């Protein structure tokens, strides 16, 4: 329970700090003081030997807040990093390693474990993003290589043409969830809102394309990453902060209607860059407070923020968190025109679901190469 908040739970994810960092930055005490949770990226090496992970978890236990810590297992970048149908077997093995570690070291099973469902990471992109995080500057771009981008999309479509791979991965994750229940914990599936829009026609083409079984597995809890920066910053303000708050309000209402108040949540963000991106960040706690208010107004009682890494870089992290916790449902007043805007943004995503079969047909038939040749030769003009 979040102390002094209308939310049942606020969980901050944390991707680039180690267990040792968490201890040195006195994060356990910060969480004890504020009542929020932490989902920390947990890598294979964290659980080997006499690691700092045990000392960190012991600190949470000593403060009586072990259940405010949620492991977020990830694979090595070379193995795909994220959970998806291509990495399902390796990820299931990693999940067993995490939960066995808890049992072998005398810790109660966690409240839940995060299953981050995203396409596998490109190791080269990860290296570039890591350099950006360390140096704080973007390597000069020579312009977008259209043909390279198109090639990657074609390869992804080609790789996802066999529905059997998606179905087998979904079964592997379903078995993993059942196993997790045996340990006494819950599976928290995390995905993009595009996966939800993919369900409206009863087929899961986009999830198959992304290799991410977000709705084909019965996760105990389901979280959607609906980041402000993916809408406001990426559109240069065409979608405003107010429009974005209406979008998460609409999503929140729909998720609560479908799944009730316990199962769904939305993660807000981002306060710092991710594993392969150098996107804009948002660090103003007042904006997060207003966004959290929109979620409360929708009936949602659980939320998350990506990520604690960026919050800890602020002058007063505790005050930052307390600002967000002051969110109230009454702070949000729905406006008809902005609700309409939110509906149009969603229709763009929904349209992709219906257009995608065209892409599959063009790739499968080989006609896509004819189109590319016409474009590159100047035979097809737009």
* CA atoms of 77 and 15, how far apart (whole Å): 13
Q: Report the CATH number at residue 147.
A: 3.20.20.70
pLDDT score recorded for residue 138: 42
Q: What is the reported pLDDT for 139?
A: 38
pLDDT 10s digits, 165-176: 999 999 999 999
In a domain, 208, yes or no: yes
Q: How many CA atoms lie within 13 A of 212 on its CB side?
A: 26
Tell me the pLDDT tens digit for each residue of 252-274: 999 999 999 999 999 999 999 88
Q: How many domains does the chain have?
A: 1
Residue 260 falls inside a structural domain: yes
Whether the CB-CB separation of 342 and 246 falls below 8 Å is answered with yes
| pTM score | 0.90
List the chain residues with pLDDT less than 50. Answer: 138-146, 150, 382
Is 2 inside a domain boundary?
no
Supply the range of the domain harboring residue 290.
Answer: 9-377
Query: What is the full DSSP assignment across 95-123?
Result: HHHHHHHHHHTTPPPPSEEEEEB-PPP-H
Residue 203 lies in a domain: yes
Residue 228 domain-assigned? yes
Contacts of residue 371, Cβ cutoff 8 Å, sequence gap at least 6: 362, 380
Looking up tokens 């690691």 gives 51
Q: Are 84 and 44 in contact (CB under 8 A)?
A: no
């Amino acid at each position: 329970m979040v102390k002094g908040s209308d939310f049942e739970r606020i969980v901050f994810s944390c991707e680039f700090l180690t267990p040792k960092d968490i201890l040195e930055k006195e994060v356990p005490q910060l969480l004890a003081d504020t009542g929020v949770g932490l989902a920390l990226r947990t890598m294979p090496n964290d659980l080997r030997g006499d690691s700092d992970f045990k000392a960190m978890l012991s600190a949470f236990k000593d403060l009586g807040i072990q259940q405010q810590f949620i492991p977020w297992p990830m694979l090595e970048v070379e193995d795909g990093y994220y959970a998806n149908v291509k990495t399902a077997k390796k990820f299931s093995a990693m999940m067993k390693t995490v939960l066995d570690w808890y049992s072998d070291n005398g810790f109660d099973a966690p409240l839940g474990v995060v299953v981050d469902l995203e396409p596998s990471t490109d190791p080269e992109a990860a290296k570039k993003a890591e350099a950006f995080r360390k140096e704080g500057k973007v390597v000069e771009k020579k312009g977008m290589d259209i043909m390279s981008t198109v090639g990657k999309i074609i390869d992804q479509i080609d790789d996802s043409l066999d529905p059997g791979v998606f179905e087998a991965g979904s079964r592997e994750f379903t078995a993993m969830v059942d196993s997790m229940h045996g340990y006494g914990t819950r599976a928290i599936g995390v995905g993009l809102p595009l996966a939800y829009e993919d369900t409206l026609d009863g087929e899961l083409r986009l999830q198959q394309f992304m290799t991410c079984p977000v709705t084909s597995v019965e996760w105990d809890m389901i979280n959607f990453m609906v980041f402000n920066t993916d809408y406001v910053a990426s559109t240069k303000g065409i979608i405003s902060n107010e429009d974005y708050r209406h979008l998460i309000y609409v999503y929140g209402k729909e998720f609560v209607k479908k799944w009730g108040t316990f199962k769904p949540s939305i993660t807000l963000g981002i306060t710092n860059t991710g594993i392969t991106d150098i996107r804009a960040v948002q660090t103003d706690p007042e904006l997060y407070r207003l966004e959290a208010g929109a979620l409360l107004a929708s009936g949602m009682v659980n939320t998350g923020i990506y990520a604690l890494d960026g919050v800890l870089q602020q002058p007063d992290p505790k005050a930052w968190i307390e600002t967000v916790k002051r969110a109230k449902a009454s702070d949000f007043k729905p406006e008809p025109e902005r609700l309409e805007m939110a509906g149009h943004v969603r229709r763009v995503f929904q349209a992709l679901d219906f257009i995608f079969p065209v892409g599959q047909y063009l790739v499968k038939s080989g006609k896509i190469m004819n189109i590319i040749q016409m474009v590159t030769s100047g035979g097809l003009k737009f």
